[in-house]
């Protein structure tokens, strides 16, 4: 069992290394991944069920939403968090922090934006399912108001991805903010908190 888990880890690491040096489009060969991991290519099918499942395992280990699915589900079931507004704010702020520093997640989102294939659609649907669970707990507050919190969440999540990717690949500032600096990141985290707070206030005032 120990050797199996070690081999699986080596294969997942090999996927990441190939992505870093050659890009996602180079993941079409199971033999290449097996050589990189220095294991028999037959083990990809034996331990993962196939090449796509191996790539999916890599994605699950590096995607913010999928990585924390179990933790978020646990919080939602236990109601062990300070408040819904605070939970939503924390999730979005953590997404910004994680995406700012995790190169694998950055490459993953860039690949998703520039590629159309069944695997990425499956991953997207898994993220959407997780997001739906989170958004449903906000419904009691926003139902009957003029605020569509799903639209606000879409702008926040998409804005986080675009702002960071644009800064990484084009450099410089974005809206006069240097989000690679500690100060710039603090401004972004504060803005996320403010936007969620304003949405909650507007919902209360418009019912």
CB 182: neighbour CB atoms within 10 A?
A: 8
The reported pLDDT for the residue numbered 177 is: 93
Q: Measure the CA–CA gap between 55 and 61, rounded to whole angstroms.
A: 10
The reported pLDDT for the residue numbered 26 is: 83
Q: Which residue has the tokens 């399912």?
A: 129
Q: List CB contacts of 160: < 8 A, sequence separation 6 or more.
A: 92, 95, 96, 99
* Global pTM exceeds 0.75: yes
Domains present along the chain, CATH in parentheses? 2-56 (1.10.10), 63-205 (1.10.357)
Q: Which residue has the tokens 């939970």?
A: 87
In tens digits, what is the pLDDT along the chain, a chain of 207 residues?
A: 568 999 999 999 999 999 888 888 788 889 999 999 999 999 999 999 999 899 989 988 888 888 777 777 777 777 666 688 998 999 999 999 999 999 888 988 988 888 888 888 888 888 888 888 889 889 999 999 999 999 999 999 999 999 999 999 888 889 999 999 999 999 999 999 999 999 999 999 987
Distance of CA 41 to the CA centre of its chain: 29
Residue 68: burial class (beta carbons within 10 Å; 0-12, 13-18, 19+): middle
CA distances from 64 to 7, 44, 108, 137, 157 (A): 24, 24, 11, 20, 12
Strand partners for 177: 174
């Amino acid at each position: 069992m120990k050797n199996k888990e070690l081999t699986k880890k080596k294969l997942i690491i090999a996927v990441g290394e190939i992505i870093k040096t050659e890009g996602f489009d180079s993941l079409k060969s199971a033999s290449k991944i097996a050589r990189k991991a220095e294991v028999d290519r037959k083990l990809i099918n034996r331990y993962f069920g196939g090449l796509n499942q191996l790539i999916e395992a890599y994605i699950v280990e590096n995607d913010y939403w999928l990585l924390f699915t179990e933790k978020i589900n646990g919080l939602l079931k236990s109601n062990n968090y300070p408040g819904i507004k605070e939970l939503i704010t924390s999730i979005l702020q953590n997404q910004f922090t994680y995406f700012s520093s995790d190169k694998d997640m950055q490459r993953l989102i860039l690949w998703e934006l520039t590629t159309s294939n069944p695997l990425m659609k499956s991953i997207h649907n898994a993220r959407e399912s997780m997001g739906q669970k989170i958004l449903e707990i906000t419904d009691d507050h926003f139902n009957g108001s003029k605020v569509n919190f799903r639209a606000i969440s879409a702008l926040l999540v998409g804005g986080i991805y675009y702002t960071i990717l644009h800064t990484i690949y084009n450099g410089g500032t974005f809206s006069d903010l240097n989000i690679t600096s500690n100060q710039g990141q603090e401004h972004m985290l504060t803005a996320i908190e403010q936007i969620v707070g304003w949405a909650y206030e507007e919902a209360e005032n418009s019912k």
